[in-house]
Amino acid sequence: MPGCAFVDERYVAPEDAKISIFDWGFLHSDATYDVAHVWQGKFFRLSDHVERFFASMRRLRLDPGRTREQVRAVMHECVRRSGLRDAYVEVLCTRGLPAPGSRDPRGCTNRFMAFAIPFVWIADPSKQARGVDLHVSDVQRIAPASVDPRIKNYHWLDMVGALFQAYEHGAETVVLVDGAGNVTEGPGFNVFALVDGELLTPAAGVLEGISRRTVIELARAQGIAVREALLPVAALRRADEVFLSSTGGGVIPIARVDGVAVGGRAAGVFGPVTARLQAAYWALHEDARYVEPVNYDAA
């Protein structure tokens, strides 16, 4: 795989990026991470991703042993060395290895790593052009009282199980619910639904995605009514428009929910709000306020 990783204070090829099986990040999923993307040679909203990464580490009492600027520098260097113009760039911090025989997390040495690989799509442009089929699973997302969803984490067994359920129903991806039957999130994305003329996105039980934030800001700038609120499954199923937001593809239109065409439209035909926000999202990648060029010629 093309790319570059930073592990154990060295820049290495992706195939040489290793982690000990005794690291609690592997054994206990005791870790946090964040993912930014590079599009046409420029990072998008890098500062926001770095800030969220540090907020997650603070909540988990992890210390990467680096400042924000040092983390940014490693991310830039991974991309520069990889030469990738469109890249998926992940930073992570694990609890690390404990003292021999200890179960006390305070004795662990935390580990910081990063990598850049080719851009990863949740749904590639051809799938986006026809729309994605979404299944609403009865699998419940891990409760916020158990694992804070604002901390980007690797607790995905609920989502993986729900994905298999979606495939069995002929869908391509899935969204999970909470204990009260409200929509939460899916594997790597937030959900938006246009219901009764108002754009809704779940307010609780979800990661506060950077792409989600971008969509909310764009909608408000365009005068589109948008609100973070509870989103019952019944409301999602009767929505006039449904789309996902993710670093892995921006605004991703949904064609069908549980096999029923959204808004009664044919495949590949989407509502005006989805179309406007999708165009605005990619246009923002040319806005100097949000992008940061990679210096591929640096020594």
Whole-structure pTM over 0.85, yes or no?
yes
Residue 14: predicted pLDDT: 97
Class in CATH terms, 4-118: alpha beta
> Across the chain, what does the average pLDDT equal?
96
Provide φ and ψ at 26, rounded to 5°: -85, -50
- Interacting residues of 250 by C-beta distance below 8 A, sequence separation 6+: 211, 278, 281, 282
> Is residue 298 pLDDT above 90, yes or no?
no
Q: Helices (H), strands (E): how many in the chain?
A: 8, 15
Residue 299: predicted pLDDT: 64
- Tens-place pLDDT, residues 282-297: 999 999 999 999 999 9
Residue 247: predicted pLDDT: 95
- Tens-place pLDDT, residues 244-272: 999 999 999 999 999 999 999 988 899 99
Residues of the chain with CATH 3.20.10.10: 125-285
> Is residue 273 pLDDT above 90, yes or no?
yes
Residues of the chain with CATH 3.30.470.10: 4-118
Residue 163: predicted pLDDT: 97
* Residues 186-206, mean pLDDT to the nearest whole number: 96
Token pair in block for residue 277: 């926000």
- Tens-place pLDDT, residues 53-67: 999 999 999 999 999
CATH architecture for residues 125-285: Alpha-Beta Barrel (3.20)
**Beta pairing, strands 87-97 & 226-229:** unpaired
